[in-house]
């Protein structure tokens, strides 16, 4: 997706440790014009599937998943990370490791909102180590729903994310695929 490539080159900041900061337009401050284009692109790429729910995980996936769900006219569900005292007792749970926060966490989705009749599109902002997406896939497997595919805004192809989820034979679409980040320079695949 050219608009996204351009924006990453213009405003993305490469930090040591293969970190790409896109918090000026994607995951702290969000440029809503770009966001709408991202939602339109996911609609185009998954348009042939009869999607009934869009699934993501809080927090930075929510905006992207919401505009995508608006395009498909279906509900968006976001997996929760924290223990809330108001949460349902009937939950799908899956553990993932956050490399950003350097700790594991448990992702939770109420059993009411994803069921075996659903066809789910999984959306997230990043695919790097693959932990979050793998846990979302695991939750879909627990729910015995169909998975329409996995839509990723930015994939770092040099990290193990895609490898971890490739064997599920899912339709994966990444809008920007970064193969290298050397000396502050981003190279797309």
- Contact residues toward a second copy (CB under 8 A) are 15, 19, 21, 23-24, 28-33, 35-36, 53, 58-59, 62-63, 66-67, 69-70, 73-78, 80, 82-86, 88, 100-102, 109-110, 112-113
- Alpha carbons 63 and 111: distance in angstroms, whole number: 22
Instruction: Specify the residue, 151 or 172, whose C-beta has the smaller distance to a second copy.
Output: 151
Contact in structure between 124 and 132 (CB atoms under 8 Å): yes
Strand partners, 1: none
Contact in structure between 43 and 151 (CB atoms under 8 Å): no
Question: Measured from the CB of residue 167, what is the shortest distance to a second copy in angstroms?
Answer: 29
- Alpha carbons 111 and 65: distance in angstroms, whole number: 19
Instruction: Specify the residue, 65 or 175, whose C-beta has the smaller distance to a second copy.
Output: 65
Question: Measured from the CB of residue 185, what is the shortest distance to a second copy in angstroms?
Answer: 19
Question: Measured from the CB of residue 157, what is the shortest distance to a second copy in angstroms?
Answer: 20
- Alpha carbons 31 and 44: distance in angstroms, whole number: 20
């Amino acid at each position: 997706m050219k608009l996204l490539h351009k924006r990453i080159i213009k405003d993305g900041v490469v930090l040591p440790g293969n970190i790409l900061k896109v918090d000026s337009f994607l995951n702290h401050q969000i440029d809503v014009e770009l966001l709408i284009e991202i939602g339109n692109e996911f609609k185009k790429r998954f348009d042939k599937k009869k999607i009934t729910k869009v699934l993501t995980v809080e927090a930075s996936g929510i905006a992207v998943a919401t505009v995508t769900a608006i395009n498909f006219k279906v509900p968006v569900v976001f997996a929760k990370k924290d223990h809330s005292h108001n949460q349902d007792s009937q939950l799908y749970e899956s553990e993932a490791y956050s490399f950003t926060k350097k700790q594991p966490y448990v992702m939770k989705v109420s059993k009411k909102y994803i069921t075996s009749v659903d066809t789910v599109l999984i959306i997230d902002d990043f695919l790097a180590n693959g932990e979050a997406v793998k846990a979302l896939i695991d939750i879909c497997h627990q729910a015995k729903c169909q998975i329409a595919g996995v839509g990723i805004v930015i994939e770092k192809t040099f990290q193990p994310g895609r490898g971890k989820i490739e064997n599920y034979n899912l339709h994966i679409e990444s809008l920007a695929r970064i193969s290298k980040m050397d000396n502050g320079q981003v190279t797309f695949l």
